[in-house]
A and B are shown apart, each in its own frame.
Chain A
Amino acid sequence: AQTVTQSQPEMSVQEAETVTLSCTYDTSESDYYLFWYKQPPSRQMILVIRQEAYKQQNATENRFSVNFQKAAKSFSLKISDSQLGDAAMYFCASASNFGNEKLTFGTGTRLTIIP
């Protein structure tokens, strides 16, 4: 079984600044994937970034990057140059690579951007 924990229910950041959202997970699988999804007020769940656990290099996607610490089972999301459109709920999720790709989600972090 997999569990995902997001310990920050809410975060805020000044526009153009950098913010880091925390996520820890637990899994007994040797191969798995980690994701960050964004859910704006429109409710559409949008993939932000994904990381394959077997890759040591941290994934990046434009202003979004992750700090993947496999031994610590930590997977934080860094948003650089925050923009008003980044305001949303952010969900961390994990999926096993064996047998199925069921996503296990955390409870989310609500990110507010201060103009």
Chain B
Amino acid sequence: ETGVTQTPRHLVMGMTNKKSLKCEQHLGHNAMYWYKQSAKKPLELMFVYNFKEQTENNSVPSRFSPECPNSSHLFLHLHTLQPEDSALYLCASSTRQGGGGDTDTQYFGPGTRLTVL
């Protein structure tokens, strides 16, 4: 499955570093999502973008900064992270978000395994 790609696949960073995660979708979708997956916990929705506009910020700390320059690309900028931020970060996309009608299925990327030292 190469519809949604994420880079890097693995990232190790110190608490003072600044890094960025990248997500790209090749499915012609217009909604993109960031999720955090921690061990023993359900996936947590972090951010939602719909037609490049942020429509959801699920009380995420400001040390996570999303950017969506167009409907195909989504970034997550990281700075001054904490060890508890270590997790698998998943990106997803769908054809639309909001407005009623049929809910469209979200397609996921392979994730970035982040370790904060």
In the complex, chain A residues whose CB is within 8 Å of the CB of B40 = 107
B residues 80-112 in Cβ contact with A at 8 Å: 88, 90, 92, 94, 97-111
Report the minimum CB–CB distance from A51 to chain B (whole Å).
11
A interface list, Cβ under 8 A from B: 4, 33, 35, 37, 42-47, 50, 52, 91, 95-108
**Residue contacts A-B, CB under 8 angstroms, 14 given:** A33-B103, A43-B88, A44-B111, A46-B108, A50-B105, A95-B103, A97-B101, A98-B100, A99-B100, A100-B55, A101-B31, A101-B98, A101-B104, A107-B40
Closest to B107 in A: A47
Are A43 and B111 in touch, CB under 8 angstroms?
yes
Known contacts A43-B88, A101-B94; is-contact A4 B109 (Cβ 8 Å): no
Q: Are B105 and A107 in contact (CB under 8 A)?
A: no
Which residue numbers of B lie inside 8 Å of A, CB to CB?
Answer: 1, 31, 40-43, 45, 48, 55-56, 88, 90, 92, 94, 97-111, 113
Q: A100: which of B42, B97, B113 is its contact (CB, 8 Å)? A: B97
Q: Is the pair A47, B43 in contact by a Cβ cutoff of 8 Å?
A: no
Shortest distance between the CB of A80 and any CB in chain B (Å): 22
Cβ contact of A35, chosen from B1, B31, B99, B105, cutoff 8 A? B105
Residues of chain A lying within 8 A (CB to CB) of residue B94: 101
Whole-angstrom distance from the CB of B51 to the nearest CB of chain A? 14
What's the Cα separation between A105 and B110 when bound, in Å? 17
> What 5 additional pairs, Cβ within 8 angstroms, besides A44-B1, A101-B106?
A35-B105, A44-B109, A50-B105, A52-B102, A104-B42
Known: A100-B48, A100-B55, A100-B56. A105 touches B106 (CB 8 A): no
